[in-house]
């Protein structure tokens, strides 16, 4: 498992604490420092079963600067959204856990973290 976090985020810290409490084997990725490229974002979106606008933090200042709320949310604009997430990783919703079974979850709740934990292999 890998968890994409921003250490300043309380939901990220809570998710890491729960993973630790459950003895999970995972890797931390501070995605603001180790920025995912467009290919990685596409792969995570596939694992999540979501579109880029579904994991975009539209309340961030940079989202306002880019005018993201006005961007179309359709297949034809998907690459534009992914490029924005790669260029401005602060826009990526957090934390994201990539589970051992090839799926991923946006782990903003204890239930979502436990869902990712339930997908561990060899437990």
Active site residues: 9
Cis peptide before 109 (omega within 30 of 0): no
As a whole number of angstroms, the distance between CA 17 and CA 82 comes to 29
Burial class (CB in 10 A: 0-12, 13-18, 19+), 13: middle
């Amino acid at each position: 498992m890998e968890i994409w976090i921003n250490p300043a985020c309380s939901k990220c810290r809570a998710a890491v604490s729960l993973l630790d409490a459950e003895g999970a084997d995972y890797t931390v990725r501070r995605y603001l420092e180790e920025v995912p490229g467009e290919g990685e974002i596409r792969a995570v979106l596939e694992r999540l079963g979501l579109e880029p606008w579904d994991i975009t933090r539209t309340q961030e200042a940079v989202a306002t600067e880019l005018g993201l709320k006005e961007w179309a949310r359709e297949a034809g604009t998907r690459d534009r959204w992914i490029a924005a997430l790669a260029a401005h990783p602060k826009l990526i919703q957090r934390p994201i856990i990539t589970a051992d079974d090839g799926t991923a979850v946006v782990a903003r709740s204890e239930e979502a973290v436990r869902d990712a934990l339930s997908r561990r292999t060899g437990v």
